[in-house]
Amino acid sequence: MHDTALPLLELGAVFFGLGILGRLSWKIGISPIPLYLLGGLAFGQGGLIPLEGIEPFTQVASEIGVVLLLFLLGLEYSAGELVTGLRRSWAAGLIDIVLNATPGALAGWMLGWGPVGTLAMAGVTYISSSGIVAKVLRDLGRLGNRETPVVLSMLVFEDLAMAVYLPVLTALLTGVSLLGGLGAVGISLLTVTLVLILALRFGKYVSAVVYSSDPEVFLLRVLGAALLVAGIASQLQVSAAVGAFLLGIAISGSTATTASRMLEPLRDLFAAIFFVVFGFNTDPSAIPPVLVAALLLALVSTATKVATGWFAAGMQNVRRMGRARAGAALVARGEFSIVIAGLVVSSGDVTGDLAALSTAYVLLMAMIGPIVARAVEPVAQRFIQHRAPVRA
């Protein structure tokens, strides 16, 4: 029994500390995400008081946090809305790739990290953090905004692009043949297609399978289904978050409403752990040497992501304020970027500076993203009023 004393003490301190930080964030009027990240940074590896007894639990819990964030986001939308959004946003998705992969690719090339390092950094700066964006949209009460379906379409497009990108990158790192890499890509795309067909044609049956009039049974079924689908998707080289999101859109009607209400507390708990764990895994001493480069990369990629969201929302005839909110919502980078950097560094093909730069960059973007998303409305309002023509 004594072996559990330290983990329980540390876990209790983490939960209580998160409660204090969450309360503080709303007092000062910002999202709690930056404070969660800084808290993790202070008590992770190289921090003030490293917490090492809870790592097995927090690693799994952080993955559950991302899955639940995207699963509940999927419950807000139907499969038809998703497919329509993807059809309308494919052009914006291609522009997203060009605008936001280019800064990272140029950085990798200028630092002399070769083709693999260049490809890896392109992925790091390209993809927004689905987990952070989902929480920011909910925290700011924007799930019902007109631009939100555009933002979600862009996130899904990016995650689907990762279904192609990650197998290719992994194949290059492991020396797998081109045929093997293409086979992995094919499996990823086939999995996503099958899940979409399931959501479109058999959504009511999925809802019936997970539903139960008994709250306990219903909670176990819906949570188990979300984790099962996420795990299967991850095993098939598709993002676990994408799998959870697609399952969410397959569930509809009163089943979706009840699932959202029951899972919201669990989502908030595990999502908070996800952001703390991100900070835990960052060594503060690795940040100063690459901070200037990370700041420059953050400034450039913030501008390119805002431009992407502005363009994507404009294609759907969203007004200028909504376009600004869409661009700001997409700024944050997070879990995928760290996964990409970890794959490359663990292979030994690229210097460890790539991990340091990626970590510093993602930490900055994870903190900048929620702040920009909140601040964009007053800034854009002043800009729009200044540009508006004066009436006689």
Residues 178, 184, 186, CA angle at the centre, nearest 5°?
100
Tens-place pLDDT, residues 181-222: 566 667 666 766 776 677 667 777 888 888 888 989 999 999
In which residue are the tokens 């997409």 written?
330
Q: How many CB atoms lie within 10 A of CB 383?
A: 13
Mean residue pLDDT across the chain: 80
- Rounded to an integer, the average pLDDT of 55-78 is 79
In which residue are the tokens 């093909």 written?
349
CA distance 326 to 305: 9
For the cut 80, the answer to whether the pLDDT of residue 263 exceeds it is yes
Q: Which pLDDT does position 390 carry in this prediction?
A: 42
Tens-place pLDDT, residues 116-147: 888 889 999 998 987 788 878 888 888 888 88
Q: Under 8 Å CB-to-CB from 311, ≥6 apart: which residues?
A: 92, 95
Where does residue 252 fall: left (phi above 0), alpha (psi -120 to 50 degrees), or beta otherwise? Answer: beta
Q: Which pLDDT does position 210 carry in this prediction?
A: 87
Q: Which pLDDT does position 123 carry in this prediction?
A: 92
281-to-49, 109, 218, 275 alpha-carbon distances in Å = 13, 26, 35, 10
CATH class of 11-384: mainly alpha
> Phi, psi (5° rounding) for residue 159?
-65, -35
Name the token pair of 341.
């950097």
Q: Where are the domains of the chain?
A: 11-384
Tens-place pLDDT, residues 269-312: 888 888 787 777 767 777 788 889 999 999 999 999 999 999 99
Q: Under 8 Å CB-to-CB from 50, ≥6 apart: which residues?
A: 43, 44
